[in-house]
């Protein structure tokens, strides 16, 4: 197996902090130098007072796998970037937060190096990603009086599984968004963070239909060296156990709206998810 991994360049790549990023084979198969971003044109951008989107990102870098090895992750640049572009072009402003205000962790190895729009976005938001606001401060100081928000957005990347699913502040924000009739947006592994909305009274999204990155695909990716070992837990399994209904079986471009929850299945859904989110916010804007 080791010889085959070497031959096909399928061994995960060690990082300077003792973790592993995907193998050259996995990078070739699972990422692209460009995206399918459609340009994000909107005839009538939003001009009302609820023009802000609270984007909740992970600040944690390394995921400890079931075999003890660490995966170098964070927020996926395409899954975060394309929806941002759509929302911004539709007239919405993005507020970047992490649990404590530490820098946003980004999967740099997945950056589409030849996509001008995405690269420019990351240059424009470099300071916001390096110096995000604290989610804890938002909850403690501003949440109850915040009236300018249209949505809460949780971008994808395996990093959404780190620190967010058990974050009490995130749980409060998700319930607040639901009570205020705001939309909640979550892409790929982003729905893992919805687990924070579980309380003693139950799970906020019990009975909701959603599209999520399939556990079946996560179980296959160690074979090509995308992950350095089996996942520590399975996103769809946990969501399903709490009553969520996962309606996709493939890591495809499928998206879904259930009440005020908008979800997308994978990086392939990033453009369609971004457009669906933007158009839905525009349609329901106040």
- Give yes or no for a contact between 159 and 75, defined as CB atoms under 8 angstroms apart: yes
Neighbours of 57 (CB within 10 A): 30
Active site amino acids:
188
256: buried, middle or exposed (CB in 10 Å: 19+, 13-18, 0-12)? buried
- Distance, in Å, from the CA atom of 138 to the CA atom of 133, rounded to the nearest integer, reads 8
- Give yes or no for a contact between 224 and 23, defined as CB atoms under 8 angstroms apart: yes
User: Which 8-state DSSP code applies to residue 161?
Assistant: G
User: Which residues, in sequence order, are bridge partners of residue 97?
Assistant: 56, 133
């Amino acid at each position: 197996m080791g010889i085959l991994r070497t031959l096909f360049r399928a061994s995960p790549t060690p990082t300077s902090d003792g973790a592993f990023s995907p193998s050259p084979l996995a990078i070739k198969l699972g990422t692209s130098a460009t995206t399918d971003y459609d340009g994000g044109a909107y005839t009538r951008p939003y001009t009302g007072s609820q023009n802000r989107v609270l984007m909740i990102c992970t600040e944690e870098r390394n995921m400890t796998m079931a075999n003890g090895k660490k995966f170098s992750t964070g927020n996926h640049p395409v899954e975060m970037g394309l929806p941002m572009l759509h929302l911004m072009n539709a007239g919405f402003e993005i507020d970047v937060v992490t649990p404590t205000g530490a820098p946003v962790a980004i999967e740099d190895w997945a950056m589409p190096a030849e996509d001008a729009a995405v690269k420019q976005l990351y240059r424009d938001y470099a300071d916001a990603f390096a110096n995000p606001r604290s989610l804890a401060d938002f909850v403690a100081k501003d949440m109850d009086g915040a009236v300018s928000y249209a949505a809460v957005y949780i971008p994808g990347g395996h990093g959404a599984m780190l620190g967010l699913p058990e974050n009490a502040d995130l749980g409060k924000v998700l319930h607040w968004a639901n009570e205020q009739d705001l939309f909640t947006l979550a892409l790929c592994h982003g729905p893992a963070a919805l687990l924070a909305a579980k309380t003693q009274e139950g799970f906020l999204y019990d009975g909701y239909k959603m599209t999520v990155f399939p556990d079946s695909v996560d179980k296959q990716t160690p074979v090509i060296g995308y992950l350095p070992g089996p996942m520590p837990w399975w996103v769809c399994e946990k969501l399903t156990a709490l009553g969520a209904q996962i309606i996709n079986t493939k890591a495809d471009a499928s998206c879904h709206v259930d009440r005020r929850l908008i979800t997308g299945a994978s990086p392939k859904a990033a453009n369609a998810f971004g457009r669906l989110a933007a158009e839905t916010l525009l349609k329901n804007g106040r």
